Amino acid sequence: MTATEKQTFLVGEAGKSREIAFHQHPAAQPDGIGLFWMGGYKSNMDGSKALALDAFAERAGLGCTRYDYSGHGASGGAFTDGTISKWLEESLAMFDQQTSGPQIVIGSSMGGWLALLLVKAHIEQVGIKKSRIKGVVLIAPAVDMTKDLMWDIFDQATRAELAANGVFRKPSEYGEPYEITRELIVDGEQHLLGDRLIQTGCPVRILQGVQDDSVPWQASVDLVSRLAQDDVRLTLVKDGDHSLSREHDLALLVRVVEQSAMS
């Protein structure tokens, strides 16, 4: 199978399994460094940031794994059936079963929250000293988004719509409305990082647009303070929006990932 062909595998117990689609190419050297891409809410693995990193990885001889959560892109399942628990389960299965060697985990928006949850779960499984995670790069990380960026800022009418219909369709400037379900909000409570300190055991780099209207830049500043034991650097892009997908934004992302890979 070539690197450009879509691959799939099943995640979840019988009756609850989801077909997860992914693209992957190996590192040039055995057990070489790989990039592990985790996309955002209602995004897919063929977005501009994911493709820019994939192209960079191939040029640099690094591996790259990018995939779609269930209900996203080319993967199976309905978007409205998705929860943080399910998407984290899929991410852990992808990391554990489909990658080997050291990895740089890169998470965008919701993927930033899932990236930190993945690191936490991975460390709990193997310990910091045996962790395969060499570095973490976060782009506008939407940490605790189901509470801080959804429920806590919903007005009474939105909360009533969720209670009555189980779903709220939030308009989006990026295309179709975001379907936010009551199950997503409730499930998210068990994954909230809150004000607790977070330890990754590796360097963390954060890119954040100051003009981001989805994730306030102050949230990334707060996140830095909670990564107290890690080597953390926050880059604020003064004119940057939430997507950080302009040509020079992508170049910045590639530079930061390259530095993480080479350090």
Find the catalytic residue in 212, 214, 220, 243.
212
* Per-residue pLDDT, 4: 56
108 catalytic, yes or no?
Answer: no
Give 136-160 pLDDT, tens digit per residue.
Answer: 999 999 999 999 999 999 999 999 9
* Per-residue pLDDT, 8: 96
**pTM greater than 0.75 (yes/no):** yes
Which parts of the chain sit beneath pLDDT 70? 1-4, 174
Find the catalytic residue in 54, 91, 242, 260.
242
User: Nearest CA to 225 among 206, 212, 241?
Assistant: 206
CA 242 to chain CA mean position, Å: 14
85 with 184: CB under 8 angstroms?
A: no
Find the catalytic residue in 91, 108, 109, 260.
109
Q: What distance in Å separates the CA atoms of residue 194 and residue 144, rounded to the nearest whole number?
A: 7
* Per-residue pLDDT, 263: 84
Using alpha carbons, list the distances in angstroms from residue 210 to 109, 117, 152, 220.
Answer: 14, 24, 21, 10
* Per-residue pLDDT, 85: 98
What residue type is assigned to position 214 of the chain?
S
- Per the listing, tokens 């949850």 go with 117
242 catalytic, yes or no?
Answer: yes
Q: Where are the domains of the chain?
A: 7-143+199-262
Cα dihedral 167→114→116→243 (10° resolution): -90
* Per-residue pLDDT, 3: 46
The residues, any chain, with a CB within 8 Å of residue 250's CB and separated by 6 or more, are 48, 49, 52, 244
* Per-residue pLDDT, 5: 77
Q: Name the CATH topology of 7-143+199-262.
A: Rossmann fold (3.40.50)
109 catalytic, yes or no?
Answer: yes
